[in-house]
Amino acid sequence: MVTLYCRTDKGGLEDILSAGLETGERGLQETLHDFKAVWLQPTPPDDPTGTRPYILRIDMDCQLDDLDLYDARPGGQLRREWLVPVDLIHARGRINVSPE
């Protein structure tokens, strides 16, 4: 089990709760590989602008090594970050929401 985090705003949260991550445009990015994905981190990310008060905790039924393909950490950077496909999150993850 791996737990990863991301942040969203109220509109994004409403989209995610009503239709899932696939239609929650906020926080999703189209990649060069033509799939929707979400940036996830091993700890809750900061919200320096105060515009994304909701933390999504995503418990993934996998090992950290299973996500190596999606590791987006630039060389030498200490903070890890993954661009995880939405389909994988839906298939192997459980999303929990909490306000900060």
Q: Which of 44, 6, 50 is nearest to 28 (CA)?
A: 6
Return d(Cα 58, Cα 61) in angstroms, integer.
10
Q: pLDDT tens for residues 39-86?
A: 899 999 899 999 999 999 999 999 988 998 888 776 666 778 888 888
H-helix or E-strand containing 67?
A: none
- How much is the pTM? 0.80
Return d(Cα 65, Cα 12) in angstroms, integer.
29
